[in-house]
Amino acid sequence: MSNYKIYPIFVGITTRDRSQLAYQLDPGKKVESPLICWYLTDGKHKVMVDTAGDPADGVKHMPYTQTEDQLLDRALLKIGVYPKDIDTVILTHLHWDHASNNHLFPNAKFYAQKKELQYCVAPVTGHEKIYDLPVIFKTKYEIVDGDAQILDGISVTLTPGHTDGSQTVLVQTEKGLYGLVGDLFNLYVCWESNPRLVNGLHTSIQACYDSYAKLEKLNAFLLPGHDYRILEKKCYP
Ligand SMILES: [Zn+2]
Closest CA to 89 of 209, 199, 180, 195: 180
DSSP code of residue 37: E
What is the Å distance from ligand 1's center to 92 Cα?
9
pLDDT digits (tens, 9 = 90+) for 74-105: 999 999 999 999 999 999 999 999 999 999 99
Positions of E strands within 67-122: 88-90, 109-113
- Indicate the pTM of the whole model: 0.96
What is the Å distance from ligand 1's center to 93 Cα?
7
What is the Å distance from ligand 1's center to 182 Cα?
7
Coil, helix or strand at residue 130: helix
pLDDT digits (tens, 9 = 90+) for 98-143: 999 999 999 999 999 999 999 999 999 999 989 999 999 999 999 9
The CA distances from residue 65 to 23, 35, 47, 72, 90, in Å, are 24, 10, 25, 13, 24
What is the Å distance from ligand 1's center to 201 Cα?
8
What is the Å distance from ligand 1's center to 184 Cα?
8
What domains, with CATH codes, occur in the chain? 5-229 (3.60.15.10)
What is the Å distance from ligand 1's center to 37 Cα?
12
